[in-house]
Structure 1
Amino acid sequence: MADGLNNPRQLSFAPNGDLYIAEAGTGGVGPCLDGDEGEVCYGRTGSVTRIRGGVATRVLTRLPSLAGAGGFGASGPSDIAVRRNGTYLLTLGLGSDPATRATLPGPARQLGTVLVGTLPAAGGVGGDLAAHEAADDPDGQGIDSNPTSVEIVGGKNYVIDAGANALLRQSGSAISTVSVFENRMVPKPPFLPPPGLMPMQSVPTTVVGGPDGALYVSELTGFPFPAGEARIWRVVPGSAPTVYASGLTNVTGLAFAGRTLYAVEFSSAGLLTVPEGEVPTGSLLRITPGASRHTVIAGGLTAPYGVAIRGGSAYVTTCGLCAGIGGVVKIGR
């Protein structure tokens, strides 16, 4: 459906059937700063691509982006939701302490926020998620913000901040915490003696609205990224999250088709198994509620990231951490 994309992340359909893809960009020549994965440099290379009638066109460009050498694994536009009237919400990742934004040029200070606008115009900051993290630190694990997903449910705007391990609500400039996803103990990898347990962060990645009105949240999991330990949470605001499905690995995308939930595993074998310099291989799954085993719809996908459903097909972003060679594939479900 599309190729030549730069770090394509989440994607979603507008009510008129247009498909929008958030591209995190390739960073730029700087200024540079220390991110979660090492030095990253700033550039206005983020964008949003629209697929209409089989034709892919970038409709928003020159959005802020941070990336390391070669543009791999950028932070920038991460998810978009478009309403019937053409207004949109767009999350911009950061992957760092919000204080680092002060060292960057003005447009870069949109990183870690939700932009609100009307296509094809550039948007303004609708809510500063990174500032909320700096002020409140919902998970109490230190200041780190990386917005990765936005969803409109019942007229309310919900956002995932993966760095904060939190599901947030955005209403105008106000940001509030809906749920925090806590650490849990998992076995250490063999190269970290002595044997025993270590804490692992949840690292939520995407939020979607379910047919029951609840919110569903996937998790990547943090280091050591063990296979089979990622979960999907069901969240009813005001109540504690409950586990909807388990037995998954490094989940980055969710989408409902009717009452059936689909998920994308970014790395089906676990990120720790990926050799240095190579990209992960993942899968599109049909989820069985409450189960630890799920149906593989398509495996062997190159670093798949987001998923959107329309009719009998799933649309999945591929090479989601790649510069210039990302894409969107259409898969029968």
Structure 2
Amino acid sequence: MKLHRFATVLAGALAATMLTPTLANAAPMNNRPWVSVIARGLDNPRGVTVGTNGAVLVAEAGRGGRSDKCVDSAEGGQVCLGFSGGITAVSTGRRDTWTQRRIVGGLPSLAGADGSQAIGPHDVSSYGGGDLVTTIGLGGTPQTRAGLGFGGLLLGRSVVISADRDRMSIRSLGDHAAFEARRDPDRQGADSNPYGVLGTRNGVVATDAGGNTLLSVDRRGQVSTVAVFPNRFVQGPNGQRVSMQAVPTSVVRGPDGAFYVGQLTGFPFPVGGANIYRVVPGERPTVFARGFTNVVDLAFDHQGRLLVLELAKNGLLSGDQAGALIRVDRRGNHVELAPGRLVAPGGLAVGEDGSLYVSNRSTTAGRGELLRITTNR
């Protein structure tokens, strides 16, 4: 079961909004984290990054649209194309107020009539020179995309967004879906859903959650395979052994210069069954850490400790949308930060001051949030 199917299980600049942080828990006592809501009303918020100007950027997968350009979803019903995807910038001002502004809009989005099952901009990263790069999901093949007409052409790609004074340009960088259809690196049938993305000096690296791969896209748009993540046999709901797909969702660069990739896992989404892989280009991926559940994003804090964001800490089949943010110390111990505060979180970033930023309620339209989490250590 690949990532576009999991989404169905979970059911131009706009005006700025000023927010005073809403505390999600009492003032920190000793080492207890302080959690505040710094943005609201987001549409299926996913990946998060901190821009070069210090603003926190959130990719919004959107709420689809009411068009006649629709495709069948993997879990029944249809998702329809709209242009409600975008990127929101959240920045701080005086007196601890936060301003949120949709700085990029009009990106393609597929979703159900209620905004659920959304596929659209899944992640965002700085690309150099003030540009941004985002992955726009698909959950299918180039034929799926072609059936949506001209408006769906950016689905299944990495996209560069450039701003020049008051003008903004959007261009395709790499066609992940076409590469998957042509090469099918995991040999399990073509299925592409670009997800996590990281800008690099030479282009970008991105996870394809549908293709079970980590891909590289150079500045000329040439796509190549960095790593293929294997299936693993696990115990299914009825006790039988099931071949579980990897479904990689996130990629970050570690303090050692290697890439680290987290996996959502495919069906049956076992609790504790997700790995973190260490990837050195030219070498086979190795398991760096294990024992996680439905990983959706990764980061390293300023002390070099791994942070792991779990979409559903009790497993996607549990029906429980409680998420978790896990910090892994140098001995491999897992410490949950802000327990009980996350609901289907979707993205994670570390600020210059060490604050953690997490997109929350990532599978709902109009109810998504951006949280700021501060800890004393």
Shift in alpha-carbon separation, 1:290–1:164, aligned structure 2, 3 A: farther
Q: Find the aligned partners of 1:323 and 1:158 in 2 and give their Cα distance.
A: 28
Post-superposition Cα deviations, 1:201-251, rounded to whole Å, max 9, x if no partner, equal: 010001001111000000000010010000111100000111111000001
User: Of the two structures, which has the highest relative contact order with CA contacts closer than 8 Å and spacing of 6 or more?
Assistant: 2
- Work out the number of aligned pairs and report it: 324
Q: Find the aligned partners of 1:271 and 1:117 in 2 and give their Cα distance.
A: 33
Q: 8 Å contact 1:92–1:110 — kept in the other structure?
A: yes
Choose from 131, 141, 145 the match for 2:192: 145
Of the structure 1 ranges 68-77 and 4-13, higher mean CA displacement relative to structure 2 is found in 68-77
- Which 5+ residue runs of structure 2 have no aligned equivalent? 1-37, 93-97
Q: Which residue of 1 aligns with 2:335?
A: 295
Identity of aligned residues (%): 44
1:42-121 alignment runs, 5 A limit: 42-53=81-92, 54-83=98-127, 85-119=129-163, 121=168
1:308 corresponds to 2:336 = no
1:23 corresponds to 2:23 = no
Choose from 67, 70, 75 the match for 1:32: 70
User: What letter matches 1:162 in structure 2?
Assistant: A
Choose from 158, 164, 189 the match for 2:211: 164
Q: 8 Å contact 2:233–2:244 — kept in the other structure?
A: yes
Post-superposition Cα deviations, 1:88-132, rounded to whole Å, max 9, x if no partner, equal: 111101112221111113131100001112136141111100100
Q: Find the aligned partners of 2:221 and 2:233 in 1 and give their Cα distance.
A: 36
Of the structure 1 ranges 216-225 and 295-304, higher mean CA displacement relative to structure 2 is found in 295-304
Q: Which residue of 1 aligns with 2:33?
A: none
Shift in alpha-carbon separation, 1:36–1:122, aligned structure 2, 3 A: farther
User: What letter matches 2:349 in structure 1?
Assistant: A
1:319 corresponds to 2:367 = no
Post-superposition Cα deviations, 1:39-70, rounded to whole Å, max 9, x if no partner, equal: 21111110110112220000111110001231
Q: Which residue of 1 aligns with 2:24?
A: none
What is the TM-score with the length of structure 2 in the denominator?
A: 0.83
Q: 8 Å contact 1:218–1:253 — kept in the other structure?
A: yes
- Which 5+ residue runs of structure 1 have no aligned equivalent? none
User: What letter matches 1:312 in structure 2?
Assistant: G
Larger radius of gyration: 2
Q: 8 Å contact 2:65–2:113 — kept in the other structure?
A: no
Q: 8 Å contact 2:305–2:330 — kept in the other structure?
A: no
User: What letter matches 1:305 in structure 2?
Assistant: G
Post-superposition, which runs of at least 4 consecutive aligned residues in structure 1 deviate over 6 A? none
What is the TM-score with the length of structure 1 in the denominator?
A: 0.94
Q: Find the aligned partners of 1:36 and 1:288 in 2 and give their Cα distance.
A: 38
